[in-house]
A = this chain, B = another copy of it.
Amino acid sequence: MRKVAILGIGQTKVDEHWEKSLREVGGEAAFLAMQDAGVDRVEALFVGNMLSPLISRQNQLGTFFSDWVGLWKQEAVKIEAACGSGAAAFRSALMAVASGDVDSALVLGVEKMTDKPGGEVTAALATAADADYEVEQGVSFVGINALVMRRYMHEYGWKHADFAPFSINAHANAMHNPFARLHDTVTVEKYEKSSMVATPINLMDASPVGDGAAAAVIVPAEKVLRQPRVVVAASAAATDTISVHSRKDPLFLNAAYLSSKQAYQMAGVKPVEVSVFELHDAFTIMAALSLEATGFAERGKGVRLGLENQIGIEGKIPVCTRGGLKARGHPVGATGMYQIVEVVQQLRGECGATQVEDANIGMTQNIGGSGATILTHILRRE
């Protein structure tokens, strides 16, 4: 397996891009990544997307975008793993370059979600859950997460306000990220008074959807002269049951545990050595569960990391340094690629006010469904 490096990155602001089509939103990030990489051509395109068949009535996004961005003739394919689609596309591209079959690849995570009414989007997002055994019962995707959060609070004795730091931290960091959807400060009071979505998840616990795209150009590491060079130190994926109710323990993200364990091993890295962790805070409860399963907190104590101020830029484990899903926004199939792009920004030292000092090892964790598909990547500055 060849070592792979990230040569260029690009992203669009997460927003309601009603004036732009699916191809325009995705194309923008793709062009920016190629420009940043200094290339006008790659051998293959891997697109991560979840909802375009449902929202835009468009399939075959690989070729749809290779055509649009001028990669005519090149191989192109779409990868889908619900909200984990972005990282899944990145991992597929990685295999193609690592195997030696392809010498350069563009990975594009893209989602256009705001052109339809909210109810239709909620129904589309529910396709991440089990249609026969979850959705058929009437539960929405946020509903499933709400059940998990309530159980966690009951089991470990935390109250709702204890989750506030995840939301506050994400919003604080997003203030310095021009690509973030939300630029407002959250306080404990605002957090507690926010509108309820599905008890106990309120608006400040939930990440906003949005239109957005993020992209990266990857090549064999030996071909990269740019300094600092950012390489992929580890890539791992694992799954759990698709339905939360099928799990022996719904409060443990086993696929996060397995994929991060494998990634640590591949990279030869311990959790304590990770400079920055872009985790999948689709809901505040998911931030807590991710920190626990990935080795940063004991079971039931993920929340404490927030309360003890350890998740900020100067904390033990900085998370959501560009706003996370909560404030940068969660254009579902694009999110995994936003995480990759943001960690590259950290490792290159381009994050200004939210730059983690001496960041040299960054980790991303992208989740499809309610913990069903989890991909962990570790990037390293060389």
Q: CB within 8 Å of B: which residues of A?
A: 1, 21, 23, 44, 50-51, 53-54, 56-64, 66-67, 71-82, 84, 88, 91-92, 95-96, 98-101, 123-124, 126-128, 130-132, 135, 235-243, 246, 254-255, 258, 368-369, 372-373
A271: shortest Cβ distance to chain B, in Å? 20
Query: In whole angstroms, what is the CA distance A135 to B57 when docked?
Result: 9
- Which residues from chain B contact A73 at a C-beta distance below 8 Å? 238-240, 254-255, 258
Taking a contact as CB atoms closer than 8 A, the residue among B56, B67, B98, B238 that contacts A246 in the complex is B67
Query: In whole angstroms, what is the CA distance A50 to B80 when docked?
Result: 10
Knowing A60-B242, A63-B369, say if A75 contacts B237 (CB, 8 Å). Answer: yes
Knowing A57-B131, A58-B127, A99-B95, say if A77 contacts B373 (CB, 8 Å). Answer: yes
A63-B373, A72-B239, A78-B79 are known; give 16 further A-B pairs, CB within 8 A: A1-B100, A51-B53, A57-B123, A57-B127, A60-B127, A63-B372, A67-B243, A73-B258, A76-B239, A77-B80, A77-B91, A77-B373, A79-B79, A79-B80, A95-B101, A98-B99
Query: In whole angstroms, what is the CA distance A79 to B131 when docked?
Result: 19
- Which residues from chain B contact A126 at a C-beta distance below 8 Å? 57
A77 and B79: CB pair below 8 A? Answer: yes
Knowing A63-B372, A369-B63, say if A88 contacts B99 (CB, 8 Å). Answer: no
- Which residues from chain B contact A81 at a C-beta distance below 8 Å? 60, 62-63, 76-78
Query: In whole angstroms, what is the CA distance A197 to B50 when docked?
Result: 32
A239 and B59: CB pair below 8 A? Answer: no
Query: In whole angstroms, what is the CA distance A81 to B45 when docked?
Result: 12
A275: shortest Cβ distance to chain B, in Å? 25
- Which residues from chain B contact A242 at a C-beta distance below 8 Å? 60, 63-64, 67
Query: In whole angstroms, what is the CA distance A88 to B1 when docked?
Result: 21
Query: In whole angstroms, what is the CA distance A235 to B74 when docked?
Result: 14
Main secondary structure of the interface of A (DSSP, over half): mixed
Provide 28 A-B residue pairs closer than 8 Å at the C-beta atoms, listed in order of the A residue.
A44-B237, A51-B53, A53-B53, A53-B127, A56-B131, A57-B123, A58-B131, A59-B82, A59-B127, A59-B128, A60-B242, A62-B88, A66-B239, A67-B239, A71-B239, A73-B254, A74-B238, A75-B236, A76-B81, A77-B88, A78-B79, A78-B81, A92-B92, A95-B99, A95-B101, A98-B100, A99-B99, A99-B100
- Which residues from chain B contact A123 at a C-beta distance below 8 Å? 57
Nearest to A235 among chain B residues (CB) is B101
- Which residues from chain B contact A369 at a C-beta distance below 8 Å? 60, 63
Query: In whole angstroms, what is the CA distance A77 to B372 when docked?
Result: 11
Nearest to A266 among chain B residues (CB) is B101
A231: shortest Cβ distance to chain B, in Å? 16
- Which residues from chain B contact A58 at a C-beta distance below 8 Å? 127, 130-131
Nearest to A369 among chain B residues (CB) is B60
